[in-house]
Structure 1
Amino acid sequence: MARARRRPARNAAARATSPLSSQEATPEAEPLASSTHAAAESCPGCTTESSASFNQFEKENWIRCDVCKTWYHWRCASSEPPAFLSEEDKKDYSIDRIDKWYCKPCVDKDPSRVMTLKAPARKSDRKRNYQDYASLNLGLTDPNRWIRMLENKTFKPDKFKRMHGSEVNMDWLEEDEDAMTEPILIEKPDGLGMKMPPSDFTVEDVAELVGEETPLEVIDVATQSASPGWNLGKWADYIELEPEAREKVYNVISLEVTGTKVGDMVLPPKLVRDVDWVENFWPSTRKGKGNAYPKVQLYCLMGVASAWTDWHVDFAGSSVYYHILRGSKVFYFIKPTPANLAIYERWSGTELQNSWLGDLVDEVVKVTLTEGNTMIIPSGWIHAVYTPVDTIVFGGNFLHSFAMPMQLKIRKIEIATQVPKKFRFPLFTKLCWYVGDKYLRDLKAPAGVSYPARVLTSLLALADFLVSEARILERGSDQAKKEAKDQVPSDRVKDPAAVARELRWRLRLAAGNSSDDEGVTVKPNGAGVKRKRTAEAEDERPRFKNFKPRRWDSVVEKADEDETRVVKARKPTEDDEAWKEQWVEWTINGAEGDASDAQVKSRTETIVRIRRTGEGLERQRVERVVESWEWQ
């Protein structure tokens, strides 16, 4: 049956990628590729003429093809009644009457596919109250169901770090391997280098400074779906009501205030500004009014008592800073282990969504934030949020160079669960091209650069992603090539294939691998792991226009004599698969239990390369240790 909706669905899959707390990006954050409206990104039926008529603040009806499951704007698809309908059906023709609907490409493939209508509803002059019995049976219309659901659950007390604002800096991020891998809580904003409105700032102040007529995305907490027809003035009036006088519980979690008077009062923590890709890599000349760029850094969240935001992951695995200006929030966290992310992916957009996700994973951690607290949430953490009292929060999303593998993993989940582009991180691929181009220029600089192992691992994932985009440009379908090309910033990247492959090549050199080592990945500890080279890898050897690699003035290879020693170690057996993981680390495993004497022969091979530079001398030393183990 054809699915229709007011905007791309507010199902779990869509929530999984929204800024801060399960909502779509604001209209201002949407791409305006090829001078068309942002909404066209998720509608294949849009044309230049139809896109020009879009109003970014208007709600759009959408319909999905029953064959290919692609979403179209109703106005771009079949808003005019087909000629084969009766005159009576033409008069009552609307998106709500559609039973089966097929897009033009699917009809062209099989002309027997014909749109059908639902039987007209029986009309009566008697007034009646409509009840959604399906939702009632599931308890979905009761906003307090979340609170009752929490009553019988057990949570692990949080052991997340409490840090002083002055400790949250680049030195911590670069030197602590656990930095930005778990949420951290800063109880007071002192030392964070952050600016916020005064603590007596109100929703009425937000409405006056941003504009009472500003359209607002409001969430009906009971159904976790958008409630139409709101603006900031109406929202301020709602907040003024006593809790018992509020007909429903609503929540606002996607008001982006960049470029407003409220936005001028907010400055993210200094660490966030230091690592934020949008802040550091998107050209400043291409920000501001009239330019499309990822506007996700300054959100004002306004929740009332008993509001709830269901389980979600922030879009593209972006990290979050989150400051409680007034009120309180209770967070429920699930660690993004491979198993938990797989469960979350299955849960998203299915009937499992009506169940408590926490029952399906290993553990849930509960954290309570109060007025003045700031939290930084790393990439990929699954979370739900409860609001015990009326609360105002300021926060924002950011991508950075320490978490690209996780950011790409969340993006793959978005693709697998068919999250519409409108609900994903705006201009994600274009931002990646800007980042890759800047890192390449830094790597090519005469002075050279060095990166922590975590950053090298992250950048190699970025380079692999850009190489995959380059392959689409070279080998994809015409439509795929066009979409990929639209995401390349032509003002900076003239030859995307060369940029992507040279970036990957230089990063692998920086990781200590040989220039032609196309089958190497870098582990989090910086060690190289060689993979078998494939035909595709052979085809992907670097090709750069007018590029001549710098030669080493001297390369010396030497090997130490074999050294033999006897150690206690457990011999791997054919029926024991665990030995593979145990022996990956460079340690002697199994020194207890059934360990026995093993004779170990080892030798060290060293390669030293030197060359003169404009500043003096560059020397590179690479050591390879080879061991042979034999049990007595």
Structure 2
Amino acid sequence: MAAAPLYCVCRQSYDVSRFMIECDICNDWFHGSCVQVEEHHAVDIDVYHCPKCDVQHGPSLMKNRNNWHRHDYTEPDDGSRPVQAGTSVFVRELQNRTFPSADEIMVQMQGHQVTQKYLEKQGFRYPITVPKVDGLGLKLPPSSFSVRDVEEYVGGDKIVDVIDVARQADSKMKLREFVKYYYKPHRPKVLNVISLEFSDTKMAELVVVPDIAQKMSWVENYWPDDSFFPKPFVQKYCLMGVKDSYTDFHIDFGGTSVWYHVLWGEKIFYLIKPTQANLALYEAWSSSPNQSEVFFGDKVDKCYKCVVSQGTTVLIPTGWIHAVLTSQDCMAFGGNFLHNLNIGMQLRCYEMERRLKTPDLFKFPYFEAICWYVAKNLLETLKELREDNCQPPAYLTEGVKALITALKNWLKREVTEPASEVPDHIRPNRLIKELTKEIRYLEEEQQSGAGGSKPMKSQGSGACPLTRSTLDRASHHARRTARRLRHHHHHAPKTPSNLEILELHTRQVLKRLEVGPFEEDVPFSSTVTAKFNKASVASAAAVERSLDNNLRLVMCHVKIFNSVVPLLAGLCREHPTSPTTEEEAVEGMLSMAGLLYPQRPEESSTAQEPWWSSPAHRSPDRGTLHQSSGSNSSEAWGDQSPSRAASTPLCLDPSPGTDYQYCETTLSPPLHPSKRSAPNTPPISNQATKGKRPKKGMATTKQRLGKILKLSRNNHFLL
């Protein structure tokens, strides 16, 4: 196998990343850094002589300048060719032109006003200017920070992209060479550095991006740490431009929004709205062969001029077409970020870049990959909003629709252009299907809401999270886990429990009565306190673990019982009713308060001894009472040993052939009905059961209430 050819005086093999120049005498190739020729200088050389040939043939021959208004300054200066963007003639003419003031479109704000809540409510459609950094959360070096300081923090060997403004051409050079150029008393060219991303350097510690950019950024919120693709770094740029630097009209890559802060110097922005017509004109202009000869601002209705002075921060939204002129030597910091507010526009800008065949160097890194990550997270957000009966904001719904369309097109394109950026752990077809399903749910809810049914909560409700970035990470994970558990255990719609129906009925009755509370019954309160003290002594460890909940539960039971029982008794005296009605009302209150304890079937007819005095229902070592509901079987009534029952104060025992068993101590608050297993027992009211009799062996409402009423009349009712 033949050895790779060696080049240059350093005798190394070819490296595509390094600039090289060919000697026109010996036809050998040399690294520009080895022969002290910068890439931007090479275009000025007409005939190059390498150091060896220079001795015999003399120095290299340079090109002669024939004009000052063309990118190729060797063209004859006959004045017949149009002025091209970036040339000295162009810059001079641009500075003499007049434009509408950007005050017509700029939103003047203070730093503390630029919040995610504000942008989600008002939208992020117009540029924002902030005269001072206070309240923005933006941290920057002092205004005395210089270009030499940048070299110190970033490193002189750092290769930076440099724009030759007069030719509007990009080249590479070491940072130390640019610094030398910058401090020359006479600069032969206008060079501009606008893409020095320094997140991986020591200078990153000196700059903290604005809070709004961090909170809304897709990269910050959705890019996983274990991603196969390298994380895009686009949030920290240092821009160093000399006077008369010019960047022609463009849209920032991927339709990203951008923040700029002028540390010192001055920049002038020429802004154009991203309307449908303007975007179409921009794409046609960008793909035209005479693009550099046409000032795009002349092709639209309005091009606004915005002067950004020292200390000012500007936020430019998605899709805004803009050009930038550096009117004096300037250092600025900026960054780009994708977000949820303008998803459709971001996708449109990306597709435009593809049609224009924009080089990867000038595109957002792994744009499609981050869109898949965002789609996965937005699916979780939509599910949570639907479960909370919250309607997502319009910008999020429209953004997800646009995202679904883009993801489908990218999958189809994979057939002919296999350059997939789909993350390995994402199932693309399933993800698209589930997102489509969530959008269909939303549309159905909106249609049913328009038809007069119960509407969903509005997007302005404080209980409804708007975007994933507004959620606490731990809280979001907990809610997602809970949802998955609920989905796993409940595949069918949940049947309302007896307690839920009774609680709703009782609330409706009390609302109609509208009677004030009665005074507490002191003897009864004393009895409850004594009972609680007895339980506390017998089970100090259990009380210490849940003291707050226990006290709250006991006091709640006391208040409910002491208020409701005299209330119902008084109502019965004033308005005589049948014993059945009184008993049902009392049991409804006791059931809602969690104080009702059903007795064993065999004791329902002859029980003279209070159920709480039975040793089978008290744990000798813990002093706790066990409450059971939803089943009349022997397992449900605690036929297990007292020690075993005491050791399991809360249990769900899905025994074969029996209902779920629910057990809890009286010193622990009962679970909310929505957290309990759905019982298979029929509803207790005739209206709910439509006249059907309860299952055999189950006590009816009247039977249980009769027992409770007898106990209360004989003053035997205790907690």
TM-score tier (shorter): 0.5 to 0.7
1:508/1:514 contact within 8 Å kept: no
Q: In 1, distance between residues paired with 2:299 and 2:20? A: 35
- Displacement of 1:441: 2.6
AA partner of residue 419 (structure 2): E
Aligned to 2:183: 240
- State the match for 1:483 in structure 2: 419
* Partner of residue 348 from structure 1, selected from 286, 298, 310: 286
Deviation string 1:526-580 (CA, Å, 9 cap, x unpaired) is 9xxxxxxxxxxxxxxxxxxxx99977679xxxxxxxxxxxxxxxxxxxxxxxxxx
- The alpha-carbon deviation at position 501 of structure 1 amounts to 1.9
Superposed, 1:601-612 pairs within 5 Å as none
Match of 1:258 in 2: 199
Q: Distance in 2 between matches of 1:222 and 1:373?
A: 28
Distance 1:508 1:326 in 2: 52
Once the two structures are superposed, the pairs formed by residues 19-418 of structure 1 within 5 Å of their partners are: 58-59=18-19, 129-131=62-64, 135-136=72-73, 137=77, 138=81, 139-140=83-84, 143-151=87-95, 153-158=97-102, 159=104, 160-176=106-122, 179-228=123-172, 230-242=173-185, 245-286=186-227, 292-349=230-287, 350-418=289-357
Over 3 Å counting, the alpha-carbon distance change for 1:450 and 1:54 in structure 2 is farther
Q: Is the 8 A contact 2:100 2:305 kept in 1?
A: yes
Q: Give the share of equivalent positions with the same residue, in percent.
A: 36
CA drift of 1:378 comes to 0.4
Deviation, 1:57, is: 5.1
Question: For the structure 1 residues 378 and 215, does the alpha-carbon distance in structure 2 shift closer, same or farther, using more than 3 Å as the test?
Answer: same
What pairs up with 1:408-447 in 2 under 5 angstroms? Answer: 408-445=347-384, 447=387
> How far, CA to CA, are the matches of 2:95 and 2:263 in structure 1?
27
Deviation of the 1:273 alpha carbon: 0.7
2:85/2:248 contact within 8 Å kept: no
| Residues 305, 387 of structure 1: 8 Å contact kept | yes
Provide the rounded CA distance (Å) in 1 between the counterparts of 2:271 and 2:100: 10
Q: Which amino acid aligns with 2:406?
A: F
TM-score, normalised with respect to structure 2: 0.52
Q: 1:355 to 1:403 in 2, by over 3 A?
A: same
The residue aligned with 1:27 is: none
String of CA shifts for 1:303-339, please: whole Å, max 9, x gaps: 1111111111101111101111111110001111111
Structure-2 separation of matches of 1:506 and 1:193 = 36
Structure 1 residue 451 corresponds to structure 2 residue 392: yes
Equivalenced residue count is: 412
* Cα offsets for 1:570-623 (capped at 9, x unmatched): xxxxxxxxxxxxxxxxxxxxxxxxxxxxxxxxxxxxxxxxxx976999xxxxxx
Quick check: which one's strand share is greater? 1
Q: CA deviation at 1:213?
A: 1.0
Given residue 340 of structure 1, which amino acid in structure 2 is its aligned partner? N
Cα RMSD, aligned residues only: 3.8
Is the alpha carbon distance of 1:498 and 1:187 closer, same or farther for their aligned partners in structure 2, counting shifts above 3 Å?
Answer: same
Shift of the alpha carbon at 1:293? 1.9
- Out of 501, 504, 509, the residue aligned to residue 436 of structure 2 is 504
- Matches of 2:20 and 2:259, distance apart in 1: 31
**Structure 2: how far apart are the matches of 1:355 and 1:236?**
33
Per the alignment, do residues 433 and 247 of structure 1 end up closer, same or farther by CA in structure 2, a change over 3 Å counting? same
Distance 2:88 2:431 in 1: 53
* 3-state SS of paired residue (1:366): strand
Give SS of 1:388's match: strand
Higher relative contact order (CA 8 A, sep 6+): 1
Q: CA deviation at 1:452?
A: 1.3
How far apart, CA to CA, are the structure 2 residues paired with 1:409 and 1:310?
20
Instruction: Single out whichever of 463-472 and 327-336 deviates more from structure 2.
Output: 463-472
What's the offset of the Cα at 1:497? 0.6
In the other structure, the counterpart of 1:558 is none
In structure 2, the CA distance between the partners of 1:226 and 1:203, relative to structure 1 (3 Å rule), is: same
Q: Distance in 1 between matches of 2:435 and 2:676?
A: 23
Structure 2, unpaired ranges of 5+:
1-12, 30-46, 50-55, 448-457, 460-486, 496-672, 679-719
Considering fraction of residues, name the structure with more helix.
Answer: 2
1:465 aligned to 2:401?
Answer: no
Name the aligned partner's letter for residue 146 of structure 2.
T
Cα deviations across residues 420-474 of structure 1 (Å, max 9, x unaligned)? 233211100000011111122333448546531112111221122122233445x
Alpha-carbon distance in structure 1 between the residues aligned to 2:20 and 2:492: 59
Contact kept? 1:164, 1:188, Cα under 8 Å: yes
The 8 Å contact of residues 401 and 458 in structure 1, kept in 2 or not, is answered as yes
Please say if residues 347 and 353 of structure 1, whose CA atoms lie closer than 8 Å, have aligned partners that are also in contact: no
Whether the 8 Å contact between 2:166 and 2:190 is mirrored in structure 1 is: yes
What SS class does the counterpart of residue 357 from structure 2 fall into?
coil
Q: Secondary structure at the match of 1:321?
A: strand
2-structure distance, mates of 1:55, 1:401: 41
Q: 1:317 to 1:307 in 2, by over 3 A?
A: same
Over 3 Å counting, the alpha-carbon distance change for 1:317 and 1:501 in structure 2 is same
Conserved in 1, the CA contact under 8 Å of 2:264 and 2:332? yes
One-letter amino acid of the counterpart of residue 336, structure 2:
N
Partner SS state of residue 157, structure 2: coil
**Rg larger for:** 2
Find the residue that maps to 2:160 and give its secondary structure: coil
Is residue 188–residue 373 contact of structure 1 (8 Å, CA) maintained in 2? yes
Q: Aligned partner of 2:398: which letter?
A: T
Distance verdict in 2 for CA 1:142–1:360, change over 3 Å: closer
TM-score, normalised to structure 1's length?
A: 0.59
Determine if contact 1:297/1:397 at 8 Å carries over to the other structure. Answer: yes
Separation in structure 2 between the aligned mates of residue 293 and residue 55 of structure 1, nearest angstrom: 26
- Aligned with 2:188: secondary structure? coil
Aligned residue for 1:262, secondary structure, equals: helix
CA distance in structure 2 between the partners assigned to 1:462 and 1:351 by the alignment? 34
Measure the CA separation in 2 of the matches of 1:168 and 1:213.
Answer: 38
